[in-house]
Structure 1
Amino acid sequence: MQDQTAEVIWNAGDVPVSVRFDDPYFSLENGLAETRHVFLGGNDLPARFAGGFGIAELGFGTGLNFLTALRAWQEAGAPGRLTFTSFEAYPMTQGDMAKALRCFGELDAAACALLDVWDPACGTFDVAAEVSLKVIAGDARETLPKWTGRADAWFLDGFSPAKNPELWGSKILGEVARHTAPGGTCATYTAAGFVRRGLDAAGFDVTRVPGYGRKRHMTRGVLRP
Structure 2
Amino acid sequence: MELQTEPLDWRDGDVPVSRRFDDPYFSLDNGLAETRFVFLEGNDLPSRFRDGFHIAELGFGTGLNLLATLDLWRSSGQDGTLHYTSFEAFPMQPQDMIRAQQAFPDLAPIAEDLAPYWATNTREISLPDLHFTLVEGDARETVKTMSKPADAWFLDGFAPAKNPELWEPDLLTCVAEKTVPNGTAATYTAAGHVRRALDAAGLITTRIPGFGRKRHMTIARKAA
- Whether these two folds match at TM > 0.5 is yes
Q: CA RMSD in A?
A: 1.3
What's 2:99 paired with?
Answer: 99
User: 1:6: how far off?
Assistant: 2.1
Deviations 1:67-121 (A, max 9, x none): 0000000011112110000000011111101111111001111111221111585
1:59 is aligned to 2:59: yes
Q: How does 1:27-106 map to 2 (within 5 A)?
A: 27-106=27-106
Aligned equivalents of 1:2, 1:80: Cα separation in 2: 34
Compared CA separation, residues 39 and 153, structure 1 to 2 (3 A):
same
User: 1:205: how far off?
Assistant: 0.6
TM-score by length of 1: 0.96
More divergent stretch after superposition (191-200 vs 13-22): 13-22
What's 2:175 paired with?
Answer: 176
TM-score by length of 2: 0.96
Could you tell me which amino acid in structure 1 is paired with residue 169 of structure 2?
S
Could you tell me which amino acid in structure 2 is paired with residue 21 of structure 1?
F
- 8 Å Cα contact 2:187-2:218 kept in structure 1: yes
- 8 Å Cα contact 1:155-1:187 kept in structure 2: yes
Could you tell me which amino acid in structure 2 is paired with residue 85 of structure 1?
T
What's 2:112 paired with?
Answer: 112
User: 1:5: how far off?
Assistant: 3.5
Aligned equivalents of 2:149, 2:9: Cα separation in 1: 34
- 8 Å Cα contact 2:55-2:85 kept in structure 1: yes
What's 1:206 paired with?
Answer: 205
Give the secondary structure class of the aligned counterpart of 1:136.
Answer: strand
Alignment length, in residue pairs? Answer: 224
1:161 is aligned to 2:135: no
Compared CA separation, residues 120 and 196, structure 1 to 2 (3 A):
farther
- 8 Å Cα contact 2:59-2:87 kept in structure 1: yes
Aligned equivalents of 1:151, 1:17: Cα separation in 2: 29
Gap runs ≥5 in structure 1: none
Percent of pairs with identical residues:
56
- 8 Å Cα contact 1:92-1:120 kept in structure 2: no
User: 1:14: how far off?
Assistant: 2.2
- 8 Å Cα contact 1:122-1:136 kept in structure 2: no
Gap runs ≥5 in structure 2: none
What's 1:18 paired with?
Answer: 18
